[in-house]
Structure 1
Amino acid sequence: MDKKRVLTNFTKTKRERATRMNKHIHELVKEGNDYVVKLRRHFRAFPELGGEEVETQKKIIAELTAMGLNPRSAAGTGIIAEIKGGRQGKTVAIRADIDALPIQDEIDQSYRSRNTGRCHACGHDGHTAMLLGIAKVFSTIKEELPGTIRLLFQPSEEKFPGGALAMIADGAVEGVDAVIGAHLWQPFAVGTMGLTYGPMMASPDEFTITIKGSGGHGSMPHQTIDPLYVGAQIVLALKTITGNNVSTNELAVLSLGVFKAGDVFNVIPDSATLQGTVRTFSQSTRETIFAAIDRICGGICAAAGATYNLESHLGYPPVINNPEVAKIVAQSAEAVLGKTAVFEMNPAMVGEDFSYYQQQVPGCFMFIGVGNKDKGFVYPHHHPKFDMDENAFSHGVEIMVVSAVNLLQA
C-alpha cells in the first residue's frame, strides 16, 4: 500500500472518529439539557454578589462531587476542578463567572430572585449551569479524552478588580495549553454565535475630574470662578478627543456619565465633578486619550483661573482572541449550529476580566445568542427584566465541549 493511500485512510478514519464523538456529545448534551435548565433556574433564584458567592460555591461543589470529581475552592468563593482523560495530552481550561448584580429582579417567573436586591441580570447563572453541564458530559466521556479538562468557576467578574487574577494566583492556568469562555448574549438571536479573531472586548477605564473654582451669588458672577461653566467647556472639548487624537484605524470610546455641580439655583458653586469612561484596545491609544483629557482640563482651567484634579482608574485589559484558538472554536460552533449561524462580529466596547487568562495562555471568548423577540426575551443585560431563551444553554454546552475536544487534539 503506497503512502498516499495510507494517509488517505488515516484521514478518513480520523474524520469518522470525530463524527462519532460529536454525535455522542450531541446525545449527551440533549440528555442533560433539563439538568442545565434546572440548575440555571436555581442560580437565578438565589443570586450572590462578587466575593459573597458562598451558597453558590457550595452548590457547585456538591454537583461536581456527585459526578465523582474532586473540586477545590479557589479565589475565596471560586472553584477549580479537573477531568483527566484516558490518555495523556494537552490541558484545556473552560471558565464561567458565577456572580450576580446589585439589582432588584423584576421578571415574572417562578425562578425570580429570592434574594432582595440581588439579580443574575447578566447571564452568569446560565454560564454556571452550562459549565456544570459541560462537566457532566466530560465526566461521561473522560476515558475517550486525549488530555485534561480544567473547569474554572470564577467569582467577582462584575466587581473590580475581578476574580480572574485571584484564580490565576491559585493555579487556574498552570500547565494549561488553551482557555475558552463564553457570554450568553442578548443582542444575538438564539441559535447564533459571534466571535472575533483578534480584539473582542475593550479595556473599561474610568476617570473623575474635580474642578475647583470660587463660588458666589448668582447675581454677581464677575466675583466668582464658575466651575460649572468651566466643566461645560471641558465636556464639549472631551467629546473631540476620539475624532482628533485617535487614529481612524483604532477603535475607541470616551463617554461622560456624571456632571455634578451646585445645590441652589441662585448660588454659583465652588466645585464641579465630571465622571466618565474610556474604552480602548491598545495601551498606546489609552495613553493618548488620557493625556488629551489632562491637556484639555489644564488649558481650560488655566484660562478660567480654576484648578482641577484628574483621577484615572484603569480597568481590565482588552479581551483579544488568539486567532488559531478562535478558528478551532468557530469550526466547532459551525459543526453544532451550522455555518450560517456562526459569524465574525464587530468588537464590543464592554469589558471582561477573561482577558487576564488570555495574558497567560492562548484563549478565545465567544458570544452565544439568547435573544428571542417572539418569546419576549428583549431586555438588555443589567436590566431588572433581563432573561434568556433557555434553548441557548444546550448550544453553549455543546459548542464548548466540542471546542475543548478539538483543542485537545490540535
Structure 2
Amino acid sequence: MVKEALQALLPGMVADRRHLHRHPELSFMEKETSAFVAERLAKLGIEVTSGIGGFGLIGVLRGNMPGKTVALRADMDALPIQDEKQCQYSSQSPGVMHACGHDGHTAVLLAIAEYYSGRRAELQGEIRLIFQPAEEVCPGGAVSMIEAGALDGVDVIYGVHLWTPIPVGKAGSAPDALMASTDEFFIEIQGRGGHGGMPHKSIDSVVAGSALVLQLQSVVSRSVDPLNPAVVTIGSIQGGTAQNIIADRCRLAGTVRCFDEETRDLIRTRVRELAEGTAAAYGASASVDYMMGYPSLVNEPREFERFYGTAAFDAGLIPEVSPKIMPAEDFAYYLRKVPGCFMLVGAGNPEKGILYPHHHPKFDIDEQSMLHAAALLIAMRESYCSDDK
C-alpha cells in the first residue's frame, strides 16, 4: 500500500528533484531552495520553522494520536562544480551543481511530507522533517540545526544518501561505524628566498615542503594501528613564482579520514610533529592550522538491524552490510545525540549511463531510487513506532 501511494507521488518527486537540479545553491547560500521547501510544506499544512543556521528548516507534522517522535533529515546544498551533463534538467547556475544527490534527498523528504500530511487521522506521534543546509562544507549545518532544537524530544532519527556506487534496488548500512571523520590541515613552511643559481644563500621552502609530503605518508603506515583504517592525503602544494627564484614560502593542504577518536588525535599530533621537525631539518620553520571536522558516523546497532529487516520486507530492497567508507557526513552529529541509522540507497544504473561517482561533473542518479528511499524511510518510521519498547 505504501509503495502504491508513493508510486503516485513519484512524478512529483522527479519534478521537484529536477527543479532543484536546475537551480542549485552552494552551502550556506540555499535561499531559494529553502523558500521552495517552505512553500511546499506550508501548502501541506505543515508547521514550519525557517531561517535555522542560515537557511535550514524544520517541518513538524503531528498526528491526532499520541506516540513517538521520529526525525527524518535531508540536506539541500550543492557543490562548486560545472555540470557537464547534456539533459533537460542540467544546472542553469554556472559552476554550481548538485553532484552528490542532495536534490534527490530534498525531493524524497517533500514526498514523505505529502504522504503523511494526508494521513493525520491515523498518524501517531510526531514526524520531525529536518531540511538541513551546508552538509558539504565544515562546520556544516547539522550543529546549528541541533542547537536550534531540531532533536528536542526526538526518540530516533533516520537519514538516507542516494548512492551511485550501489546499484538501484539495493541498500547498504552498517551496525556501527559507517563513514569516516574528516579533518583538514594547512601547513605553511617559511624559508628564505633567493636566486635559483645561488641555493646556498637561501632556505628552499619547496624542497622542505616536498620532503614533508613524503614524510606524511609514513603517518598511516608507521604510526597508526594497521587494523584501524585511516587516510592522510595531501591535496595541494603551492610555492614559488618563477623557475629561477627560490621560494621563501610553501603551503600544503591535506585531509585526514579515520573512524575512532584515538586514531584521530594521534594523526593530528603526528602531522604537527612531522611538519615542525621536517621544516627544521632544512633550516625552515612550519606553522600548522589543523581543523577538526565531522566525527565518524556511527549507527545504533539495533537501528541497523531494523534497517536490515525493514529494507527487505517492507521497502522491497536488497539489504547489504556496507563496508566502512572514507567520505564523511555531518549526519554523524545527530547520531551522537539520539539513536538512529544512516542508510545508503542504491542510485546507480550503468544501463542508463548512470555510473559516475559523487562529486563528478557528470553525476546523476536513477530517479527510481527516490521511490526506494522514501519507502525505506517510511518503513523505518512505521517499524519504530510499532515497537513495544
TM-superposed CA distance for 1:337, in Å, is 5.3
**Closer, same or farther: CA 295–342 of 1 in aligned 2, 3 Å:** same
Query: 2:26 matched to 1:56?
Result: no
2:59 aligned to which of 81, 89, 101:
81
How far apart, in 2, do the equivalents of 1:127 and 1:368 lie?
11
Shift of residue 202, structure 1, vs aligned partner? 1.2
1:400 aligned residue (377, 382, 387): 377
Alignment of 1:248-287 (within 5 A): 248-287=226-265
Q: Are the aligned partners of 1:191 and 1:337 in contact in 2 as well (CA < 8 Å)?
A: no
**Whole-Å Cα distance in 1 between the matches of residues 369 and 263 of structure 2?**
36
Q: Tell me how far 1:336 sits from its aligned partner.
A: 4.2
Asked if the contact 2:315/2:375 (under 8 Å) is kept, the reply is no
Whether the aligned pair in 2 keeps the contact of 1:206 and 1:315 (CA below 8 Å) is yes
Amino acid at match of 2:264: R
1:358 maps to 335
Partner Cα distance (2:81, 2:276) in 1? 38
- SS in structure 2 of the partner of residue 384 of structure 1: coil
Q: Please, which of 349, 357, 364 is the counterpart of residue 387 of structure 1?
A: 364
- Return the offset for 1:122: 1.0
TM-score normalised to structure 1 length: 0.91
Alignment of 1:11-90 (within 5 A): 24-73=1-50, 74-90=52-68
Aligned to 2:205: 227
Contact residue 320 and residue 358 of structure 1 kept, 8 A = yes
TM-score for both structures, normalised by structure 2: 0.95
Provide the secondary structure at the position in 2 that maps to 1:168: helix
Give the match for residue 215 of structure 1.
Answer: 193
Shift in Å, 1:133: 0.8
Amino acid at match of 2:298: I
Is structure 2 residue 151 aligned with structure 1 residue 173? Answer: yes
User: Where does residue 302 of structure 2 map in the other structure?
Assistant: 324
CA change 1:300–1:54 in 2 (3 A) is closer
Cα-to-partner distance string for 1:223-246 (whole Å, 9 max, x where unaligned):
222222111211111101111111
Give the aligned residue type for 2:365. Answer: M
**Is the Cα–Cα contact under 8 Å of residues 276 and 287 in structure 2 kept in the other structure?**
no
Which of 112, 126, 130 is the equivalent residue of 2:108? Answer: 130
Q: Tell me, which stretches of 5 or more residues in structure 1 are unaligned?
A: 1-23
**Corresponding residue for residue 293 of structure 2:** 315
SS in 2 for 1:32: helix
3-state SS in 2 of match to 1:367: strand
- What does the per-residue CA deviation read over 1:288-313, in whole Å, with 9 as the maximum and x for residues that have no partner? 11111122223222222211111101
Confirm or deny that 1:378 pairs with 2:355.
yes
Deviations 1:250-276, CA, capped at 9 Å, x for gaps = 121100111112121122211211111
1:61-108 deviations in Å (ceiling 9; x for gaps): 222222222222133312111222232111110000011122222211
Structure 1 segments, 4+ long, off by >3 Å, are 336-339
Measure how far apart 1:325 and its partner are.
Answer: 1.4
Return the offset for 1:338.
4.9
Aligned residues: 386
Residue 344 of structure 1: CA displacement? 0.7
Structure 2, unmatched stretches of 5+, are: none
Change (3 A) 1:330 1:141: farther
The alignment status of 1:348 with 2:322, answered yes or no, reads: no
Alignment root-mean-square deviation, CA: 1.5
Higher helix share: 1
Structure 1 equivalent of residue 166 of structure 2: 188
Asked if 1 retains the 8 angstrom alpha-carbon contact of 2:180 and 2:258, the reply is yes
Give, in whole Å, the separation in 2 of the partners of 1:337 and 1:359.
26
